[in-house]
Structure 1
Amino acid sequence: MNLNPKVNFAVTPLLRIAYEEHGPASGEPIILLHGFPYDPRAFDEVAPALAERGYRVIVPYLRGYGPTRFNNPAILRSGQQAALAQDLLDLMHALSIPQAALCGYDWGGRAACIVAALWPERVRCLVTGDGYNLQDIPRSTQPLPPETEHRLWYQYYFHTARGVEGLTQNRRELCELLWRLWSPTWKRGAELYPLSAPSFDNPDFVDVVIHSYRHRFMYAPGDPTLEWMEEQLAAQPAISVPSISLCGADDGVGPAPEHDEDAEHFSGFYERRVLAGVGHNIPQEAPEATFKALLDLLEG
């Protein structure tokens, strides 16, 4: 594991995106996208293995994480799903990548799924954590089963002023708690968490996180320039690119249901793999399975 990877930067219309790169610049590109509350360390065992096979591997820090910064103080610190997808498109443009294999989970999986759904020509294939990650925002006010609502406590906490202050004062402790709750059977969380925790010290982390969890429930307006994309996402478009969904059987926030409820959203090749003993942090808990899923799509 490389504890001091080189960080590069790509300037986009809104951000100076920090990213780590592995493998030859001439290799077929793969973009690996982390979630909340994680960072590129989630792919420390996946990215080098892919690079050894000749792929060009890009691992960005999402908006609000690590060294990634907004270009202007006036830019809305949006965490909405359309913003994450636009950042991915902008990064691909800045790095002159016309098409890439995408792999992501949680927030990163959402960005990857959106780009795969709306711009399939830009996506060679998709490995998605927990299936179809597009938020169904128009129906977000409908209550879920009580056990599901219980697991989403942190989202409702972030809807309050107390939650904003709690995340501000206790971001490392709160994120560490989420790691434990969401990956209850993972033995290496306590060891590896300190490697990711500094990414949450980003000055925009709190604002982006709070906006993300408020916007998805229609408690905060989104970026007006992205409303066109949100309108398309409200139709829950299908994903046509070859896709594999990896689901953690022990996921403490979104355990894999026995019946695959997401299959209907994939119109091309699609396979779901439920990973025993794995929680929410899929690529870090199951790097071999993540690596294999990508190779099965790229080389199978």
Structure 2
Amino acid sequence: MVVEKFVKTKKLNMAYEVTGPEDGEPVVLLHGWPDCPRTWDEVLPHLHNRGYRTYVPTLRGFGSTKFLDDDARRTGGPLAFAADIKEFIDALNLAPVNIIGQDWGASTAMNLSCLYGTDLVKSEVVLSEGWKIFGRLSLEQVKNYWYQWYMTTPQGMEYVRKRQSEFALFMWKQWDPKYQMTAQKATVLTSYFQNPDWAEVTLDTYRQRWGYDPFDEEYADLQASLDATSEIFVPTLNIIGKSDSCTDYKMASDMGDYFTGRFEQQFWDDGGHFIQRERPRDVALAAAEWFK
């Protein structure tokens, strides 16, 4: 049984799990929303077999990760997540490190790569997410993002706060209808949403994204750095499923324009949003090959 460990960052007592060969090259795996660290369980053995030691943190608002200050704003969004993970990597002395991220985890990885380059991120594999797409959404993508604008309404906020598990599982069915989640896996998954901060971090992420919550000025310096450049030179493999009904792969088809280093994009037939759950071996092998 894997023992959950904890490390303190500026804002959090962050839960994480570390497994694999003790002398293995480190890989940090970042889960998305609405998901949890268990999303990597079937990916990890394939990475371990190829000599990688894996570090799987639990993002703010999920599971056992807790804010240190009861009065701190429950800020969501990629800059807050990026700050947390930068401090996590620094605390464990992992840099420069390979990263695999999906959804929120993918956007976090790309923000870290843009902000800190190869001093922090050696190489990255980003799943089910594009880069710099929010200002030019297609109508298909607008349709996919209905849930984000629902959360800007009083009704949506109340739903997320009172019925978080139901809301999250509905999104799974929408985004990945071919993936058959067992009742046991659903129970484990939704247990991570019982964190008292889950709803507030979720709401702040999307409300702040579209201007319905104020920007958290604590991250102003990071935002200024991002505004100064959109280019990423960290080696990046991007994988999006063609059946992903959250992220329309066509919206991300030109993201290579922002990557000045080694870049490859793969669109997997029949892949849904949680592609690491559907095809864990394929994801692990693609990542191991990319990191070589």
- Taking the aligned partners of 1:221 and 1:277, their CA distance within structure 2 comes to 38
- Taking the aligned partners of 2:251 and 2:16, their CA distance within structure 1 comes to 36
Matched, 1:224 2:217: yes
What are the ranges of 5 or more consecutive residues in structure 1 without an aligned counterpart?
none
Work out whether residues 43 and 284 of structure 2, in 8 Å CA contact, stay in contact via their aligned partners in 1: yes
- Residue matched to 1:88: 85
Tell me how far 1:209 sits from its aligned partner.
Answer: 0.4
Partner SS, residue 231 of structure 1: helix
Work out whether residues 96 and 120 of structure 2, in 8 Å CA contact, stay in contact via their aligned partners in 1: yes
Work out whether residues 110 and 134 of structure 1, in 8 Å CA contact, stay in contact via their aligned partners in 2: no
Among 277, 282, 286, the alignment partner of 1:293 is 286
Matched, 1:67 2:64: yes
- Taking the aligned partners of 1:133 and 1:259, their CA distance within structure 2 comes to 7
- Residue matched to 2:43: 46
Work out whether residues 238 and 264 of structure 2, in 8 Å CA contact, stay in contact via their aligned partners in 1: yes
Q: CA RMSD in A?
A: 1.9
- Residue matched to 1:256: 249
- Residue matched to 2:268: 275
Tell me how far 1:98 sits from its aligned partner.
Answer: 2.1
Percent identity of paired positions between Structure 1 and Structure 2: 31
Among 108, 111, 127, the alignment partner of 2:105 is 108
Tell me how far 1:169 sits from its aligned partner.
Answer: 1.4
Which amino acid in 1 is paired with 2:275?
I
Work out whether residues 48 and 54 of structure 2, in 8 Å CA contact, stay in contact via their aligned partners in 1: yes
- Taking the aligned partners of 1:135 and 1:6, their CA distance within structure 2 comes to 38
Among 20, 25, 31, the alignment partner of 2:22 is 25
Tell me how far 1:13 sits from its aligned partner.
Answer: 1.2
Among 108, 125, 128, the alignment partner of 1:127 is 125
- Taking the aligned partners of 1:258 and 1:93, their CA distance within structure 2 comes to 34
Tell me how far 1:206 sits from its aligned partner.
Answer: 0.6
Work out whether residues 80 and 222 of structure 1, in 8 Å CA contact, stay in contact via their aligned partners in 2: no
1:134-184 Cα offsets, whole Å, 9 max, x none, are 575xx4xx7x44332222111011111211110111111110000010002
Among 66, 73, 77, the alignment partner of 2:74 is 77
Work out whether residues 101 and 109 of structure 2, in 8 Å CA contact, stay in contact via their aligned partners in 1: yes
Work out whether residues 113 and 134 of structure 1, in 8 Å CA contact, stay in contact via their aligned partners in 2: no
1:1-37 Cα offsets, whole Å, 9 max, x none, are xxx5321111111101101111133321100001000
Which amino acid in 1 is paired with 2:205?
S
Partner SS, residue 88 of structure 1: helix
Tell me how far 1:74 sits from its aligned partner.
Answer: 1.8
So what's the TM-score if we normalise by structure 1?
0.91
Which amino acid in 2 is paired with 1:211?
D
- Taking the aligned partners of 2:183 and 2:258, their CA distance within structure 1 comes to 36
Matched, 1:118 2:115: yes
Partner SS, residue 31 of structure 1: strand
- Residue matched to 2:197: 204
- Taking the aligned partners of 2:223 and 2:133, their CA distance within structure 1 comes to 10
- Residue matched to 1:14: 11
Partner SS, residue 105 of structure 2: helix
Which amino acid in 1 is paired with 2:127?
G
How many residues get paired? 291
Work out whether residues 29 and 99 of structure 1, in 8 Å CA contact, stay in contact via their aligned partners in 2: no
- Would the alpha carbon gap of residues 112 and 258 (structure 1) be closer, same or farther in structure 2, given more than 3 Å must change? closer
Matched, 1:37 2:34: yes
1:179-198 superposed matches below 5 A? 179-188=172-181, 192-198=185-191
- Taking the aligned partners of 1:298 and 1:221, their CA distance within structure 2 comes to 38
Which amino acid in 2 is paired with 1:106?
D
1:253-284 Cα offsets, whole Å, 9 max, x none, are 11311882211011111111111221111211
Tell me how far 1:238 sits from its aligned partner.
Answer: 1.1
Work out whether residues 131 and 252 of structure 2, in 8 Å CA contact, stay in contact via their aligned partners in 1: no
Work out whether residues 184 and 252 of structure 1, in 8 Å CA contact, stay in contact via their aligned partners in 2: no
Bigger drift between 12-21 and 213-222 goes to 213-222
Work out whether residues 99 and 125 of structure 2, in 8 Å CA contact, stay in contact via their aligned partners in 1: yes
